Amino acid sequence: MVRKSSSIYKSRALALGVLLIASLASTGCSLLPKEQSTLKPPLVKPAQAEVRTIDAKSGSIVKQVAGSATFVPTKIEYYQQQGAGVIHSVDVRAGSAVKKGDVLVTLENNGSDIELLERQIEYERKKQAFNDAVEAGDAESEHIAKLDFELADLQYKRAKSKADSSVIRAKTDGVISYSTDLQPGDHFDAERVLAAVAQPSGMRLALEVAANPALADIKIGMDADVTYKEKTYKGKVTQTPASAPETADERLRDEYGKTVYIELGKLPEGASFGAHAEATIVAARRDNVIVLPKSAIRAYFGRTFIQVLEGERRKEIDIETGLTTATEYEIVKGVQEGMKIILP
C-alpha cells in the first residue's frame, strides 16, 4: 500500500515538473524582444512616357527665296589680265568716279618702259634715215632704209603694247564698283579681276541667297515682288547661279554662285547704287493640302512614314510627299485631316 502511494506521488510530481518547465519556457520567450517585421516598399505606379502629337490639317506651303537685295549697276566693265603679274599700285577705290582713260591699276612692267623708250629712239632714227635716203634719190639705199624703218616701227608698236598692258585704264566713264584688295608687290593669277567700272544709269537688284534649297528651282523670267520704302514693285529674274556666265575669277564665281539678279520694270524713285530693298521670288506654291513639319516625317530603309496615335496604340503609315521646303513637307498620300501625328 505504501509502495502504491509512493508511485502515485512520483507520477504527480513528474507531471507538475513538466508543467513548471513548460511555463518557465513560455515565460522566457515572452521576455525576449520581438523582431520587427521588414517594411515592404510602397508600390509606385510607373510613369507613362509623354507622347507629343499634332493634328493633321490642310494649309499652304510655299517654296521661295526672300531677303534683302542690293541695287547694283546693270552694266559693269570688268578689268582683268590675260597673264599673271605683280601689282605696282592700285589707283582707285570702290565708290570713286572715274573718267575714260583714268588709270585704275598699275602693274610691275619688268623694264618694259625702258624698252619702249629704246624702241622709240630707234624708230625715230630709222625714220630720219629713210627720209634722208628718199631725198638722196638712191633707190637701193631708199629700199634698205625703208625696210629698217618698217622693222623699227613694228618693234616700237610691240614695245608700246607691252608697256601699255602694265597700265589698266578705264574704257568708259563710271563708278568703281570693285577694286582689288591686293597690295603693291602682291602677285595675281591670270584672269583675275582687278577692277570693275559700273555705269549707274541702269540698275538691277542682287539678292544673295545662302543655304536655301529653293534656289535651285529659281528660273530666269520668274516674277519677283520687291518692296522699297514701303512701296511694292514687280520685277523679273534675269540671272541665276545656273545661268551665270563662266569666269576664271574666283571672286566672281563665288558671287554668281549664290546671287539672283532681278530687273524692275521701273526703278523706284530715289533708288541708288548700294540701296536695299526686300525681294521675294516664289518658286512653287500649294494651297489646301496637308502640310506637316519635317520633324514628323520618318525614313527607314527606303520607307517614308509617320506614326499616328489611335487611342493608346501607335500605328505606322507609309506616306508620299510632294513639295518640300526647309521646314515642311506637302503630304500627297497617306494622311487625312484630323489624324494625330506623333512627333519625336
| pLDDT tens-digit readout, 106-151 | 888 776 677 778 888 988 888 888 888 888 887 888 888 888 888 8
Of 91, 62, 37, whose CA–CA distance to 323 is shortest? 62
Count Cβ neighbours within 10 Å for each residue of 262-281 and write b for 16 or more, e otherwise: bbbeeebeebeeebebebbb
Rg (CA), the chain: 48
Angle at 320 between CA 316 and CA 323, to 5 degrees: 130
CB-side neighbour CA atoms (13 Å) of 255: 13
pLDDT less than 70: residues of the chain: 1-49, 111-112, 163-164
Q: With contact defined as beta carbons under 8 Å apart, do 121 and 155 qualify? A: no
Distance CA 183, CA 180 (A): 8
Joined together, the cell numbers standing for residue 246 give 563662266
Joined together, the cell numbers standing for residue 342 give 506623333
Q: With contact defined as beta carbons under 8 Å apart, do 78 and 196 qualify? A: yes
Element holding 253 (H helix, E strand): helix 250-256
Helix axes 112-136, 139-164, angle to 10 degrees: 160
For cell 528651282, what's the residue? 217
Query: What are phi and psi for residue 14, nearest 5 degrees?
Result: -65, -45
| pLDDT tens-digit readout, 152-198 | 888 888 877 776 678 899 999 998 988 999 999 999 888 888 999 98
Largest Cα separation within the chain, whole Å, is 201
Distance CA 329, CA 61 (A): 8
Distance CA 78, CA 178 (A): 9
Beta pairing class for 298-300 and 340-342: unpaired
